[in-house]
Structure 1
Amino acid sequence: MTAHATPAFIVPEITMATETNRPKRLSQSQWQALITEQQNGTATQSEFCRSKGLCLATFYNWKKKLNNSDKPAEQKAPEFIELPVASEPLPRQTWDIELELPGNVILRMRQ
């Protein structure tokens, strides 16, 4: 069994191990602090995650989630379409349907 090194950024209260010996999940504010730290630094996102022991995909997901939560939700006004008012009743429509079935059977429907 090999010893697992605890990433440098994880403080002792975060590393309270579970039964599987994994650190607890990071809170939203902890992710925000990490994202801000990466943005203020010179390391790429990939380098930053590698140095902190973070999953790059999880970092991207949190960055997207927190970026979207900063923006107010756009409230789009409902679009209404004005329909013309018929001044005269529409003419009655007629239709004819003819269906040829096997056995020389023809079914005709008319209105």
Structure 2
Amino acid sequence: MSKVAGGKHVRRSERQWRALLARFEQSAMTVSEFCRREGICTASFYRWRRLLGETVAGDRPMPPANRSADFVDLDALSLTGPDRLELKLDLGGGLVLHLVRG
């Protein structure tokens, strides 16, 4: 948020932050110079840049048309298989999905 006359804060929408981050990408300024010029907190700048990731320019990257599916169907699990089945998926960002059967 940025301060305006009277000490009040301005709340920006996601679209406004996207435009702000796009302006930063076009500038040759450092983050602190840009934030000072725009009157925004550097912590807010970094937070929104992280939240919006690589989509700061406003366009989400399109997947290639010839890309195959990331999902591979392995059919149903056999009921006569081992009594216990354990599956761990590392989803990134410190998030792990752990499934146990049996």
Report the TM-score, using the length of structure 2 for normalisation: 0.47
Larger gyration radius, structure 1 or structure 2:
1
More RCO (CA 8 Å, sep 6+) = 2
Report the TM-score, using the length of structure 1 for normalisation: 0.44
